[in-house]
Homo-oligomer: A and B are copies of this chain.
Amino acid sequence: MEAVPRKTTIREVAQAASVGIGTISRVLNSSSQVSRETRARVLEAIRRLGFRPNAQARRILKRRAEMVCFLLSNRDFLHPFHARILQGVESYASGLKQHVLFAALHYSPRTPPDRIDLPPVLQEHGLIDGLILAGTIYPNLLRRIESINMPFVAFSNNVVGMGDEEQFDQVGFDDFNGTLHATRHLIGKGHRHIVFAADVSYPWLRRRFEGYRQAMRENKLKHALITSRNPQSFVDFGQKSAGRILSRQPRPTAAVAGNDEIAYGLWRSLRRQGVKVPDDISLVGFDDREEAVLMDPPLSTVRVDKEEIGETCMKMLLERLHHPRMTFSQRILPTEFVIRGTVRQL
């Protein structure tokens, strides 16, 4: 590897400005104790030499990397949903001169904590100050992260198999109230036979189901859960659910899908069978993905502000870094029901 050309150092700048090295450092950190003329002379020398301070050297003394890692686990692709969270993290971070590292991790839920092979960033130390966990999070991963004493905040909606006694910083959004409001909206439009389609073995879909059930119960309506066997994907799950919905007696007038992908699969399969949305059956989704507006008619769904999730994660992580002993906190961000074109007044 060729030698990297040496860059200007603080000592050269000190020489050029005829001051001591301490003074340069004081100017750089804008600590007050520098006279106006000296500061001007130093700044001029910095400009003339094109000096840019070496970040590593500062970090080693400050014991702060000013960098956090966004760790996406068990996703074979950076979905728009998580991509937006990442952008929320980055935009908030860069405003505070913090940097964001992106890393991916694949592990099995059953791999014991000490066997989980962490990405290179987490093997060294001093590289990052903290971690934002996104993607599917199983207890073993948390154990592993805790074992290296790395402060972290988790995006909690995709946390799986965690007991209530688990304590860590987390940010999530309100699954329960999301479907609660969506379902109330349907009921308000005169719907009585409403089904819910999702695989409720996922904790977050289970919470959405509970929100739906709550709305049904408070209106003394019967709830019905639609599932399907061996789906290839959420879209496929939706497609396979369509038949099951149509075969119910009496035929439901509306369906609440566990997420937008299921809603999409449902919509597509219904349309193929000549069932019109929303004329024959109303449909609502959850997540407000990019594709929701592209559907025809555009999907009424529960909006989640993904940038805000990212921003909140970053904010919480910084608080944790400033106050390591602070008690753990949990933030649930509100959701919003977005009315588009897939719900009909009965």
Contacts and interface: CB of A to CB of B under 8 A. Distances in A.
A77 B80 CA distance: 9
Contacts of A87: 77-78, 104
A146 interface: no
A264 B102 contact: no
A119 to B, nearest CB: 6
A123 interface: yes
Nearest to A58: B124
Interface stretch (A60-68, A191-199, A329-337): A60-68
Chain copies in complex? 2
B63 A90 contact: no
A70 B102 contact: yes
A63 B120 contact: no
B100 A63 contact: no
A55 B69 CA distance: 15
A7 interface: yes
Nearest to A83: B78
A100 B128 CA distance: 12
Contacts of A104: 87, 90-91, 94
A126 B54 contact: yes
A59 interface: yes
A99 interface: yes
A15 interface: no
B90 A84 contact: no
A208 interface: no
Given A126-B54, A291-B291, A296-B268, A83 B77 contact: yes
A26 interface: no
A3 B64 CA distance: 10
B124 A55 contact: yes
A229 interface: no
A86 interface: yes
A236 to B, nearest CB: 11
Nearest to A59: B56
Contacts of A90: 102-104
Nearest to A296: B268
Interface string A73-115: 0000111100110110011001001111111100000000000
Contacts of A78: 78, 80, 83-84, 86-87
Contacts of A3: 63
Given A56-B65, A264-B294, A291-B294, 8 more contacts: A3-B63, A54-B60, A77-B80, A86-B102, A99-B101, A100-B103, A101-B102, A268-B296
